[in-house]
Structure 1
């Protein structure tokens, strides 16, 4: 059986038994291969737009004798599947902006899909926003560190018509014990489940983000143009807001 990285293993663990899966940007098709070898899925499409990884995925499937279960297809995003062909989609290892654009462009292919398991490398906010605006219920978030990098895995389910009316509830302004209010934009940025859980690795991520923002701030202060001054103040406010949330959560951590 193929061995997965910690990140891919956590994605695999979230795929329901008996699923039909499309793994978009499948690279070497490691995830669908593992799921098929384990008997966790009945069918998979491994989609890859780049020629090198596409060929590697085809070799992987052929060498493991799984060509009756896994189809490797060349194409961009959800163009590799037909509507109703799968009920789970996994997308991992790309930016949140690209991920959201793939989902937006492939909306017509999401009919019958019940679960989205998404691991953006950056720009998680854009993925959460797309899910919220397009009738998908964010059901869980997990954060992990591997090889010095921090990843978030977002799992969402297709919302019923009744549930769509309640999607905003997850992002309602929440008051942290201690007084700080966290609004919708902050929850979209920092993660509604992750913020409330406030795991140690989540604090590490946001301390790192603060350092990046401080570097941007120092660069902006080198310019006296009106746009740079305004942007520097905007970044300063963002730094203050994040620090306030982190400080408040640190106080209430058990």
Structure 2
């Protein structure tokens, strides 16, 4: 039996936001490394690892057996949150997918979130989509973290259940309310890159036979926001 799990930095950061003694679900768990890591380091934690494809599901089963955690981690085959029963977990992790897919998983499975007090997501792209879902479904973003690993910049978003939906401005949806307040060096590196990327997109759209002027205006607005944020303009208006 192997006693340690080698976890990527982004998943270690995700694990740090899981309180001790939590029963949680890891959706799209792949090899179940995150549940294994958490349960090996927290003897009171329990987990459900969900996978939609048989190959990763079998890999997760093998990992749980290798770490001798069958009594604390259950591996289930199924789509998104549909693997969960009502009131079965109090925390959900969805990491390593696009924001649009994470939003779809949350929307299609929100009937299974009755007892879920915290949701931790790590979208690879399109974080705005997930923030919008949180803001309209009774979850407030309490923490955000931006990290770099292997040349990629990732954002981790932690949302806690709240009686009143959190109202976020368009800028907060784009940049992240917590990240916008902190404006770390890595945040600035990301948005310098995003500024250049939007500039290229605008130039390509202008050369199109039938430009989409609505999208052009949206990208131009975002360029203005990025300029203000990077040059210490208003933090949020």
Runs (5+) with no aligned partner, structure 2: none
Equivalence for 2:193: 208
Match in the other structure for 1:75: 78
Q: Distance in 2 between matches of 1:148 and 1:89?
A: 27
- 5+ long unaligned stretches in structure 1: 172-183
Structure 2 partner of 1:174 = none
TM-score, scaled relative to structure 1: 0.86
Q: Secondary structure at the match of 2:157?
A: strand
Q: Deviations over 1:22-47 (max 9, x none)?
A: 00000000000011111254321000
Q: Does 1:247 align with 2:196?
A: no
The match for 1:196 among 181, 184, 193 is: 181
Look up the SS of the partner of 2:45 in the other structure: strand
**Over aligned residues, Cα RMSD in angstroms?**
1.7
Flag the 1:95–1:41 CA change in 2: closer, same or farther, 3 A.
Answer: farther
**Structure 2 residue aligned with 1:125:** 128
More helix by share: 1
SS at match of 1:204: helix
| Number of residue equivalences | 232
Runs of 4+ in structure 1 deviating by more than 6 angstroms, as ranges, are none
2:189 is aligned with 1:186? no
- SS of 2:71's partner is coil
- Distance in 2 (CA, whole Å) between partners of 1:123 and 1:230 is 19
After superposition, the Cα gap between the structure-2 partners of 1:188 and 1:230, relative to the gap in structure 1 and judged at 3 Å, is: closer
Provide the secondary structure at the position in 2 that maps to 1:154: strand
Hey, what's the Cα distance between the residues in 1 that align with 2:143 and 2:214?
36
Asked if residue 223 in structure 1 is aligned to residue 208 in structure 2, the reply is yes
Q: Matches of residues 24-63 of structure 1 in structure 2 within 5 Å?
A: 24-39=27-42, 41-63=44-66
| Cα gap change, 1:2 to 1:187, in 2 (>3 Å) | same
